[in-house]
């Protein structure tokens, strides 16, 4: 397994890297899975779709619906024509990450109240 953590805003340099190494790595029998994290922000969906437009079917896709609020609205993911096309053609896997209390994610907090 090879893991490459590529920033959400990565662009041409990253695309060039993928294009250059893809065929050699794929010939070795290594498959790719791209993990895209989306939120209620339409820009997060646009980033996943931009990656998919460039990578196409050279990778599998896993989309994580990250609920960053108690009642997250994924309208841009569920209703946009481009996102629905992506889901029908590429995204065979999606998981939902439920909202968590932010205080539980702060390692320096020992209780619900941070001092």
Q: pLDDT tens-digit profile of 40-93?
A: 999 999 988 998 999 999 998 899 998 877 778 889 998 999 999 999 998 667
Q: Which domain holds residue 47?
A: 31-100
Indicate the pTM of the whole model. 0.75
Q: Is residue 77 part of a domain?
A: yes
Q: Name the β-bridge partners of 36.
A: 63
CB proximity list for 73: less than 8 A, separation 6 or greater: 40
Number of domains within the chain = 1
- Whole-number average pLDDT of the chain: 81
Q: Is residue 24 part of a domain?
A: no
Task: For residue 108, give the DSSP letter.
Answer: T
Asked if 38 and 63 touch (Cβ cutoff 8 Å), the reply is yes
Tell me the C-alpha distance between 29 and 31, whole Å.
6
């Amino acid at each position: 397994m090879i893991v490459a953590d590529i920033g959400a805003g990565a662009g041409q340099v990253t695309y060039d890297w993928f294009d250059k190494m893809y065929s050699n790595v794929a010939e070795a029998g290594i498959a790719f899975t791209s993990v895209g994290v989306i939120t209620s922000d339409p820009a997060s969906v646009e980033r996943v779709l931009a990656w998919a437009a460039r990578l196409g079917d050279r990778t599998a896709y896993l989309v994580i619906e990250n609920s960053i609020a108690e009642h997250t609205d994924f309208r841009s993911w569920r209703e946009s024509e481009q996102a629905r096309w992506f889901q029908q053609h590429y995204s065979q896997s999606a998981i939902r990450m439920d909202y968590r209390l932010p205080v539980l994610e702060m390692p320096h907090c020992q209780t619900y109240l941070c001092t």
